[in-house]
Structures are given as C-alpha cells and as structure tokens.
Structure 1
C-alpha cells in the first residue's frame, strides 16, 4: 500500500537545520525513500530537488575551490599508485570486510600476473587462481608454475610474511621444497621480487625476454 508524508516537504522548505554534508545527505536519501514508498517519481519531486540543491550549497561552502579539489583528487590518485592498495590491506586486513576482500583478490591476481611477467614465464606455463575462503580470512591468491609456487594471503603468518614462495617439480606438485617468505611491499615490486625469487630458488633462466603486458 502506497503512502506519502509531508516531512520531506517541510524539510525542503526550511533546511536551515541541515548544516553538514552528512545531515543533508541523510535528508535527501530519506526523501528519495519516501518517494519510492509513495510511488512518486524521484527525479521530479520538489522536495528531493530542493534538498539536493541545498546539499550542493552546503558542499560549496566547505573546503577549497573546485580546481584545488580536482588537484587534490589527482594527487591522491598519484599517491595510491605509489603505495598500492595491497600494501595498505596487508596492514589493515580484510576479515569481515567484503569490499576490502574483493579488492584484495582483484589486485592480488593482477599483481601475480605482473610477477609472472617479470619472471619471464610463458603464458601457458602457469596458472593464477583465487581461493576466497570464509569471511574470517583473506583467502589466497596463488600462482602455480612448472618450477614455482607463489601464494599471497593476509594474517596467516603475521606482518611481513604475506607471500610464500617455493620451488616445485611441476604444476601438480603442491608440496614442493622449503618455504620462503616475503612481504606485500616486496610483492608489489615485481622486477625486484622476481630477481630475488630467481636467486633464492635457482630457477631456470627465461627462454626469451617477455613482451610487457602491463604499464
């Protein structure tokens, strides 16, 4: 059964109590919900439009101007590129945080592919897989090749030991030789980390210089 209330109209006519972004956004969201419950179009509802404009007015009075904010956004993007999310997630953890865990597995797979490229592995010589596990754990991102197994996970062995790598005898060898450990910070530097892996595991040299797939 549809219903309508006058509260959103009263707020829209006198929004003087809405002085913060959080308060404005809450009022706007509530007005949109009221329209949905009443079966009214949201995009043309006068209360919704007035509250949205008030939100913009409040936002205009906070912080620096538009160009400075755009510059700050670009600086933030550059900073994130210098400090990849995987490093931050390694310190923060992703247990019971579904969006963080999704980002961990997505970025982890891409970073694992970059490592395979830095190692000079042929595309058909390895697999990259994810095991998400339960909500209380990060799960694993794994690379399994003819000579190498690499596993990325958070929280199992403590800070600085997010990456396990070991030499194996084929793509079906899931035991392999002695485990070696590395940090997430090392993992996101693929060329340097690949050199360490080759040195410590005495891997065969790549047959040819691989074509770069990632910038």
Structure 2
C-alpha cells in the first residue's frame, strides 16, 4: 500500500510516485462517479522541490485536488463545487484524509455528498449543474 504521508519534500522519487498514484486513484474516482468522458480532466502541478505539488480532477461541477498540504491535520484532499472547468475558486472548501485514496467508494460518497456529482445511494447518477 502506498504511504500517502511520506513527505515529497526534497524527494524526487517519492514525488514521482505520489503523482503517479494520485493520478491513478483520481482516474478510479472518475470511473466510480461515472463521470462522462469530456466532462473532466486530471492534471498535475509538480510544484517546487520543497512541496508535493498537487494532482487535480476538475469536472464541470466538482473540483478534487490531492496534495500534501494538510499533513499535520491529516487532510490532503480538497473537494469543492465549481461552475465549469474554467472555475478555479469554486464553492466552499471541504477537506478529507489522504487515506481515502485507498477507499475509492468512500471517497466517491464524500464527493457526491459535497458536490452532488456521481452515483446516488439509489444508484441513480447525478451530474450536478
């Protein structure tokens, strides 16, 4: 299992693994949420040598960003609503633990609860406005 809390600071190999794993997990999240192709993108910003940078899934109605910005609090996933893929500020910030990347169904449930995007408990799919 990947150690999400091992610092990427000044560790290029760890940063490479972190970005690779985060991109993979965000692709899994997009699939779990049943996001239609073309409604989202996944991108990386590696940042400088002293930081982890971030990996972002940007959907037309949800913005999910993974980074080591909240290690001391245990948080490293930012989830918020947005109004299109040009909206980089979006709604209120909600934070979740990086370890949710190891439980994609639970992360998808959190994303759905916050943004309304994805599969509902009934199995119905919502794409939120």
User: d(CA) in 2 for partners of 1:108 and 1:178?
Assistant: 22
* Partner residue of 2:4 out of 89, 94, 97: 89
Q: Normalised by the size of structure 1, how large is the TM-score?
A: 0.53
Equivalent pair of 2:40/2:85 in contact (CA under 8 Å) = yes
Paired position in structure 2 for 1:194: 108
User: d(CA) in 2 for partners of 1:185 and 1:98?
Assistant: 21
* Partner residue of 1:172 out of 57, 82, 86: 86
Consecutive unaligned residues in structure 2, runs of 5 or more: 120-124
Consecutive unaligned residues in structure 1, runs of 5 or more: 1-83, 208-215
User: d(CA) in 1 for partners of 2:4 and 2:60?
Assistant: 29
Displacement of 1:187: 2.2
Correspondence 1:4-23 to 2 at 5 A: none
Paired position in structure 2 for 1:149: 63
Equivalent pair of 1:89/1:100 in contact (CA under 8 Å) = no
Paired position in structure 2 for 1:27: none
User: d(CA) in 2 for partners of 1:127 and 1:189?
Assistant: 21
User: d(CA) in 2 for partners of 1:104 and 1:129?
Assistant: 13
State the secondary structure of the residue aligned to 2:108.
Answer: helix
Tell me the alpha carbon deviations over residues 24-64 of structure 1, each in whole angstroms, 9 at most, x when there is no partner: xxxxxxxxxxxxxxxxxxxxxxxxxxxxxxxxxxxxxxxxx
Paired position in structure 2 for 1:129: 43
Q: Is 1:102 aligned with 2:16?
A: yes
Tell me the alpha carbon deviations over residues 42-89 of structure 1, each in whole angstroms, 9 at most, x when there is no partner: xxxxxxxxxxxxxxxxxxxxxxxxxxxxxxxxxxxxxxxxxx31xx13
User: d(CA) in 1 for partners of 2:56 and 2:63?
Assistant: 7
Structure whose alpha-carbon radius of gyration is higher:
1
| Higher normalized helix content (fraction of residues) | 1
Correspondence 1:26-105 to 2 at 5 A: 84-85=1-2, 88-90=3-5, 92-105=6-19
Deviates more, 1:192-201 or 1:159-168: 192-201
Task: Name which structure has the greater RCO, CA cutoff 8 Å, separation 6+.
Answer: 2
Tell me the alpha carbon deviations over residues 104-142 of structure 1, each in whole angstroms, 9 at most, x when there is no partner: 011110011001111110121100000001110000000
| Higher normalized strand content (fraction of residues) | 2
User: d(CA) in 2 for partners of 1:129 and 1:204?
Assistant: 20
